[in-house]
Structure 1
Amino acid sequence: MGSAQIVEIIPVSAIDVVNPRARNRRIFREIVTSVAELGLKRPITVRRKKSDGEPRYNLVCGQGRLEAYQTLGQREIPAVVVDASSEDSAIMSLVENCARRQHRTIDLLHDIEGLRTRGYDYDEIARKTGLTIEYVKGVTSLLEKGEHRLLRAVEAGQIPVTVAVLISQAEDAEVQSVLQQAYEEKLLRGQRLMAAKKLIEQRRRRGKGYKSGSRRVDGAPISSNALLRAYRADVDRKRVLIRKSNGTKARLLFILEALRKLLAEPEFVAVLEAEKLDTLPKNLALRLQGEA
């Protein structure tokens, strides 16, 4: 598989989806909303087809992004054009699907925070994360102001990052105007608008962040709300742990199957033996042999 990759603006109509996947309607609506509000965070990936006429491409990764562009009436889309065989394209698609299951917006928020701490500017962060500069600036602004409640809402898809930034910049008396503007621009409607109003009220009463809480005086009673918050915080921590565990398991299974397939190729094994790389850790070898 060639390593050269370039980004081109290509016609949407010139792309064929070889193995279309059924998509959850709610998730697809979220993709369309994200593309409409923030633009394309990451180009799709295609491979060029042999054609005597106009150039045509097979989609490798990014069916949801492509269909979102079609839904929004866009005629062209940024794409990374790769030289890959059909088999390599299938593997690339599988790798992206596995990776996408591990990374949610909250992971990107933490990545942005870490990169800013290490001194990277907006352009560099956008390049490394595949996000737009506007999104990075918005998230950074929320992080610097300690707006953890707004960040959690952005992560959950309750409000767009642009609206969250406007709320963080507004005085209490101006927040309703921000919501009205978001409603008129169709950024917040229905359940999302109700969730935003509830969030703003909680932010006003309890503050911007999720405080760990000061130590209580011995003998002081614990309120039901405090217990509920502690329980939810513990549940959130366990969910993160489970998500990371499932992600690690999925990656290991993928690597295991890839190794099993490679080791079934005599030419590959011959290369390993010639380079004295034909030994494996015992546990991994047992796994590959199906004995563990």
Structure 2
Amino acid sequence: MTEGAQELRLIPLESIDVLNPRERDGKVFNEIVENIRNIGLKKPIKVTPRSGRDGEQRYLLICGEGRMKAFKELGQKNIPALIVSVSDEDAFIMSLAENIARRQYRPLELLTAIEMLQDHGYDKKVIASKTGLGVERVQGILVLLEHGEERLLAAVEKGKIPLSAALTIVSGGRDDKAIQQALQEAYESGQLRGKQLFEAKRIIENRYALGRTLGCNMPRKRTDVTTSSLVRSYQKEVDRQKLMVKKAEVTQHRLLFVTNALRQLFLDENFSNLLRAEGIDTLPTYLAVRVREAV
């Protein structure tokens, strides 16, 4: 993607259309306004020219929405702008690439931006420079994106598990034994410690039960429905149902154990008297009914 000749010009604020609008923090915006009020505009905005409905000159904003809004807030009519000639698609990608390093993205929003940059031809080194991330981290994120591992990606970006551990889990595929072995190796190598190990196990369980994706949080590439994809979907649902049945059986066994234990304890008159003396001799209705039935 190449940009055409660039020209610095003073253009009317009312002729600018925002290509990639976003919400911004009120405190940060007020700081922008005050900076421009006190020392002026240090860097011009960037736009690309377009023709309006009646042939009037319009511009699509590529970069500098905060500065543009600040100028409006200060009652200005015109703003210095760097004008470049690019297509609508290139303008959007330029907007994404130039703004991505200027603010703190939410985890999945950053991942979406990285995927879009890759889809439009940026390699991992360029993406790394645009996002301020290391090349190895970008490469790891791209691998997880290619495998549709949204759940693991979210955990990585929230700091719940390290990227290296997520990649280790992915390397195990759908083989439970391979994944457990990968977790063991990650633990022994120090990649997973303490809470992170338990968090990784929880994520893997959710990955089996709920899938690798996170609903509509991230864009998915459209795929055609095939016999193989239907079989995979069916198998995924079967696995989910099996996990639910297994969890239900475990819960049932635990409830039976608690019920029998309480029944034995309540047969002890001294124990019952102690509970009454402490004012803790009541049980939740459902559990009380089960205990009475057992007695």
Determine which structure has more spread, i.e. the larger CA radius of gyration.
2
* Higher-RCO chain (CA-CA 8 Å, sequence separation at least 6): 1
Q: What TM-score, normalized to structure 1?
A: 0.38
What TM-score, normalized by structure 2, do the two folds share? 0.38
